[in-house]
């Protein structure tokens, strides 16, 4: 994995890795991943060490990067499911630079039969073995250097053997370099091993517990076997179904042919998937209304629409809106850029959200939740809409035509109408109205005549 370290100078100099989080495989893994660091130019020639802080605050021994700037991921990282890491660069002139700490994560694993914890004595034996290998490699490096010196001295003894001696010297130098590198790597391995070895003699398990660890059901997310509400056995003999629970209690049920089913004996508890009722389920039990009750959904229907504008990666996708509100949990499609709000959404007040999902058949894009709110109201009257009130002119015509006012009131009305009709064609209508009120009309045809005389002539005359 390439890890590039960049220098930022936006508000002061700082060194940061490009990756925010390093994914380093499973907990306890070793040698699965190798980190190759690409360092800033100003760090050339500086000694760079890797520092790790595990989730519980443990600080393993820092590791010195080699010339290849590579580091194999081992338990320095993976002994903890997550933690922080950083680089530190130093030179001989007192210059010291550090990167901003970044996070690493290891996915969770579980213990296998072959996993055993390393005892302190095994750690000590391993450290001793590594130190012995380092000493041996160092001695070989010295011997190789001595051989190179002797080969160079032999080159001056004989002119004929000069070429062969030179080749031997070069070969010896290469061996010395390889041996020196091996010695350095062995020393680094010994340092890491010393960092892993516990200083107080207590070896920590991967689950954070010391000594012999005994896990219970809660530790592994399981249910205890002695819980009384778990079904241990189900026995069917003939038409008798017996359910045996882990606490030793039993419940018996009598089955019947489904073609002749009338009732079942016994009640299955809700904890075991039953209804807990000894009767048939009603509409009220499931939050519904009975057929024909009239308590059907009442709310705003077809009033609200949302205009959806698709941009970027959403452009050209088929978009579906998923409603999560107290009144409904529904899904509706966006058609021609318009999303109609379902009536069930506005039927119950409360706060909810909408989640949009778009797809073209091969890829899917999902939005964040968009909050929505349905405000409460005090309700409206049940039943049909009330009839509109009688217009004023119809009321006037009906009152005048049916004799709804006295003779004195008729004279007062005529006086007002003559004042309004003064100087226009409505004066003749007033004369006609006075004649109609004074005539004997046994057929009660005054209503139609008054409609023409009063509202026709008066309105046309004045307007």
Torsion angle, CA of 400/402/405/409, rounded to 10 degrees? 40
Q: Which two tokens stand for residue 20?
A: 């925010």
Which are the contacts of 202, defined by CB distance < 8 A and separation ≥ 6?
A: 210, 211
Q: Give 99's DSSP letter.
A: B
Q: For the whole prediction, is pTM greater than 0.75?
A: no
Q: Which two tokens stand for residue 5?
A: 């370290």
> How does residue 298 score in pLDDT terms, banded at 50, 70 and 90?
low
Residue 139 has pLDDT above 60, yes or no: yes
- pLDDT of 300 reads 65
Handedness of CA 54, 60, 66, 71 (dihedral sign): negative
- pLDDT of 37 reads 92
Radius of gyration of the chain (CA): 48
DSSP character string of 124-140:
HHHHHHHHHHHHHHHHH
Distance CA 335, CA 436 (A): 65
Torsion angle, CA of 23/28/30/35, rounded to 10 degrees? 20
Relative to beta strand 2-8, strand 34-38 is parallel
- pLDDT of 291 reads 62
Distance CA 234, CA 252 (A): 10
Look-up: residue for tokens 């039943």? 383
Mean pLDDT throughout 386-406?
64
Residue 52 has pLDDT above 70, yes or no: yes
Mean pLDDT throughout 331-355?
89
Residue 357 has pLDDT above 80, yes or no: yes
Residue 288 has pLDDT above 90, yes or no: no
- pLDDT of 89 reads 93
**Per-residue pLDDT tens over the stretch 22-50:** 998 888 888 888 999 999 998 888 999 99
Distance from the first to the final alpha carbon of the chain: 92
CA distances for 269 relative to 137, 276, 277, 371, angstroms: 74, 5, 8, 38
> How does residue 16 score in pLDDT terms, banded at 50, 70 and 90?
very high
Residue 129, sorted as left (phi over 0), alpha (psi -120 to 50) or beta, turns out to be alpha
Closest among 90, 61, 36 to 187, alpha carbons compared? 61
**Per-residue pLDDT tens over the stretch 165-216:** 778 788 888 888 888 898 888 888 887 767 666 566 554 554 555 555 677 7
139 touches 182 (CB < 8 A): no
Mean pLDDT throughout 144-161?
76
Torsion angle, CA of 374/379/385/387, rounded to 10 degrees? -130
Residue scoring higher pLDDT (277 or 453): 277
Residue scoring higher pLDDT (256 or 204): 256
Q: Give 32's DSSP letter.
A: S
Mean pLDDT throughout 215-236?
74
Judged by average pLDDT, the poorest of 62-76, 177-191, 404-418 is 404-418
Cα within 13 Å of Cα(11), Cβ side = 0
- Largest pairwise CA distance in the chain: 165
Q: What is the mean pLDDT of the chain?
A: 78
What stretch of H or E contains 339?
A: strand 338-340
- pLDDT of 463 reads 40
Torsion angle, CA of 46/47/52/58, rounded to 10 degrees? -140
Distance CA 82, CA 79 (A): 9
Cα within 13 Å of Cα(64), Cβ side = 13
- pLDDT of 238 reads 79
Which are the contacts of 215, defined by CB distance < 8 A and separation ≥ 6?
A: 207
> How does residue 321 score in pLDDT terms, banded at 50, 70 and 90?
very high
């Amino acid at each position: 994995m390439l890890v590039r370290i960049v220098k930022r100078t936006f508000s002061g100099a700082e060194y940061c890795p490009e990756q925010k989080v390093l994914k380093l495989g499973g907990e306890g893994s070793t040698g699965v991943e190798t980190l190759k660091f690409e360092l800033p130019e100003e760090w050339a020639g500086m000694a760079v060490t890797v520092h790790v802080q595990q989730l519980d605050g443990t600080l393993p021994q820092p590791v010195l990067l080699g010339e290849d700037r590579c580091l194999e991921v081992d338990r320095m990282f993976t002994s903890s499911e997550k933690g922080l890491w950083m680089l530190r660069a130093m030179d001989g002139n007192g210059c010291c630079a550090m990167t901003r700490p970044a996070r690493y994560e290891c996915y969770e694993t579980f213990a296998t039969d072959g996993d055993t914890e390393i005892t302190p004595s095994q750690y000590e034996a391993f450290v001793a073995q590594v130190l012995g290998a380092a000493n041996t490699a160092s001695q070989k490096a010295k011997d190789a250097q001595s051989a190179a010196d002797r080969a160079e001295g032999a080159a001056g003894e004989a002119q004929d053997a000069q070429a062969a001696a030179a080749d031997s010297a070069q070969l010896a130098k290469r061996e010395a370099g390889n041996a020196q590198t091996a010695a350095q790597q062995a020393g680094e391995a010994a340092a890491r091993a010393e960092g892993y070895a516990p200083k107080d003699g207590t070896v920590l398990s991967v689950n954070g517990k010391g000594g012999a660890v005994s896990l219970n059901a809660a530790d592994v997310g399981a249910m205890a076997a002695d819980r009384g509400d778990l079904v241990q056995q189900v026995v069917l003999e003939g038409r008798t179904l017996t359910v045996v629970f882990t606490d030793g209690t039993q419940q018996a049920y009598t089955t019947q042919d489904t073609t002749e089913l009338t009732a079942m004996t016994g009640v299955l508890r809700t904890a075991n998937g039953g209804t807990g009722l000894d009767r048939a389920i009603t509409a009220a039990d499931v939050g519904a209304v009975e057929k024909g009750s009239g308590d059907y959904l009442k709310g705003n229907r077809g009033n609200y629409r949302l205009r959806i504008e698709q941009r970027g990666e959403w452009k050209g996708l088929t978009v579906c809106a998923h409603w999560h509100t107290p009144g409904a949990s529904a899904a509706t499609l966006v058609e021609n850029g318009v999303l109609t709000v379902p009536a069930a959404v506005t039927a119950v007040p409360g706060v909810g959200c909408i989640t949009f999902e778009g797809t073209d058949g091969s890829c899917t894009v999902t939005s964040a939740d968009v909050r929505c709110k349905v405000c409460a109201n005090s309700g409206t009257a049940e039943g049909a809409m009330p009839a509109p009130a009688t217009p004023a002119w119809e009321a006037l015509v009906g009152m005048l035509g049916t004799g709804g006012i006295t003779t004195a009131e008729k004279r007062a009305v005529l006086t007002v109408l003559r004042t309004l009709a003064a100087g226009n064609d409505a004066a003749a209508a007033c004369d006609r109205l006075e004649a109609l009120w004074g005539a004997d009309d046994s057929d009660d045809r005054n209503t139609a005549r008054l409609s023409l005389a009063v509202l026709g002539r008066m309105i046309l005359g004045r307007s």
